[in-house]
Amino acid sequence: MTTATQNKIALGRNFENADFLIIQYGLVLIFLWIGLLKFLPFEAEAIQPLVANSPFMSWMLSVFGT
Q: Which residue has the higher pLDDT, 59 or 11?
A: 59
pLDDT of residue 14: 59
Residue 38's domain comprises 3-64
pLDDT digits (tens, 9 = 90+) for 31-61: 999 888 878 888 878 888 888 888 888 888 7
CA distances in angstroms from 2 to 5, 9, 12, 25, listed in the order given: 5, 11, 16, 35
Q: Taking the model in full, what pTM does it have? A: 0.49
- 9 pLDDT band, cuts 50/70/90, is low
The domain total for the chain is: 1
> Which pLDDT value is given to residue 33?
92
Q: What is the average pLDDT score of the chain?
A: 77
Supply the pLDDT for residue 43: 81
